[in-house]
Structure 1
Amino acid sequence: MMLSSPDKPTVLVVDDTADNLTLMAALLKDAYRVKVANHGEKALAIVASGSIPDLILLDIMMPEIDGYEVCRRLKANPATRDIPVIFLTAKSDEAAEAQGFSLHAVDYITKPISPPILLARVRNHIALSVHTQMLQSLSVKLSRYLSPQVYKSIFEGTQDVSIQAVRKKLTIFFSDIKDFTKTSEHMQPEDMTYLLNSYFSEMSKIALEFGATIDKFIGDAIVIFFGDPQSLGVQDDALQCVRMAVAMQRRMAHLRSVWHDKGYRQPFHVRVGINTGYCHVGNFGSEERMDYTVIGSEVNLAARLEQNGEPDGVILSYETHALVKHEFDAEECAPLLAKGVSREIRCFALRNLHTADAPAAGVDLRYPGLRLTLEPEKLSPEARLQAIEDLQSALQVIRSQA
């Protein structure tokens, strides 16, 4: 809700007694723009017309619909529910007052009206409303500097803003733009800003759709992780991360076409690396300035994978591949020797990444009483027919025991 006038806030006075309307309008006119309504329907019509007041003084006892019903309708409408409502009434019993507050009125003034009390209450509640709006606006602005999950957990009080971290098994995503420095040297700053912001915006939308925690942007690189502050479980976190990476690369193919049509000769090509492992995640920094992020050797490994990946591709560590191989088709690459990592890194590159109906690797089911590994692309036509018969027989056995 925004103030109706840059000079004077607007107060809507609703009362079915003409003398009361005249009195309150006279009291308020020097400091406020005053609108009046002599019944509830008229008040609702004024508000519905788009003339949103900054505060409503609302009589309770009115014909046709009373003040309680007017307030109830206002609070049921998202466009008007934040308007402060002060009830005016000759009723002074606690039950009437309690009913008013249960409808989320901000105050309750009894008749006969005391001018000093009326002016003080109106002034205080409009000032409080303005302050609340400022805080809400600031909150929205701050939310753009935090991942939505982190922002929500902080404002809901489920996460403390203090220097602390926990050890969790996460799936970490790294991406960067191939030859970004070289590409940027041949572009005007305005064009580079447009392309980079378009890229970040599109990738961020996809990340949020898949429930990712966006860690940070480092130059042209994006760091994302799954598993904190919300988690679907280690395997599902990994699956969501890889699904997100595929969606991003497919979106990049579309963006390159759009950028090319706009005259950009060197549209971006992105590399992606994904790893799963134990990391420390939480708030790091000082008491004055901290960052909610993830650290550890597994994070570095994800970065090394990305640096050795192919443009427009997705490369997975062995740990991530093991969690997602039943859904995604990948081929093992030559082991990597990366700086800072003492062992050879087994890695897998996703296949059929840019095919609309990219087939999964098959089926890999393993739990007590059942073990099934299926790679249909390796079956000959004869073997496929035999497999169908065998699987149907297996289904009959399972159903007979159900």
Structure 2
Amino acid sequence: MAIAARSRSGFYRQEVNRTVWEVPERYRDLKQIGTGAYGTVCSAWDRRTGAQVAIKKLHRPFQSKLFAKRAYRELRLLKHMRHENVIGLLDVFTAEISLDRFRDFYLVMPFMGTDLGKLMKMEKLTEDRVQFLVYQILKGLKYIHSAGIVHRDLKPGNLAINPDCELKILDFGLARQADAEMTGYVVTRWYRAPEVILNWMHYTQTGKRRVLIVGMLWDVGWVFLERKTLLSGVAVDIWSAGCIMAEMLLGKPLFKGSDHLDQLREIMKITGTPSPDFVVKLQSQDAKNYIRSLPKVPKKDLHYIFSKASSNAVCVLERMLLLDPECRASASEALELPFFNEFRDIEEETEALPYDQTMDNTDLPLDQWKRHTFTEILTFRPPRDSKGTSL
């Protein structure tokens, strides 16, 4: 339903599910395709390029300092990403022309159509499709990691896919904070690295019982790491990629824990009980005690579990699903495995410019986050197509 009032030349208003969207004339036929606590996404047709796009409207991005910082961070991340396997920004706009009236802004991204989670529910993937999809995941991770960024919440729903089986890593979960807030959001643990779960562990006294608590203490989503911790950080994404590849080959999740402790048990049924060398590296003393209390379980042969997969495919899993994060292959190392030879194009395996995380580690008042966001919108330059034309 279009609304007649206009606030700026070249823009129009449209009501989408009782929310007013104020967008440039070039974007037409808005249809809601997703919504969450922090924003709503519509598909639209870009009359300038003739392409379908996804437009995200953040939900009250400046309602608090925390929301404002998240909105600023999401915008800067999307502006930085320029890789075919990582979601990037086609456009960003606001209908307001002055900072004092600035309330909302919109992010325009490629429209993909579906995600890997939905695709796997619809069909069993052939091994050659698994090859192509995992190759794209690893190319995207190599790019992200080279910028000093770790995704940390990689799962099938964060892997967007278009009808040509082209894949982009995305994350609309930037603002999620804690498991307690994640109503209905439990699947993430199936792809979570064991060292992450182990290092959240602590005991609490409840009467005469000591209860093991596994909690999530960080923002889920992209995280920026110093170089000294980057290597251990990227291994978290490699584990998730291994879980996702295993699910593609099996047609079901490999580690389907009902809670965090059950998740660890499911992992160790296959990886075996951790070695003493691994246990001493854990930060949590309670996690060390817990692991040492477990009965010894031998490691299982992945060739037996994935008996229908090729030896080269299982070799990739063996390099990614290692309990010790220091032993897992990096994205660059995994790309060199024989499984990807058929699709490999080294020129496409590019690295990113370092991401300047100075502002992400800064504590500013709300009005300054708002000002910085407005400046980022005004300074946006759209990516160029293969002919060097701005989109």
Bigger RCO of structures 1 and 2 (CA < 8 A, at least 6 apart): 2
Task: Give the TM bin, normalised by the shorter chain.
Answer: under 0.3
Larger Rg computed on CA atoms: 1
TM-score by length of 1: 0.26
TM-score by length of 2: 0.26
Which protein has the bigger strand share? 1
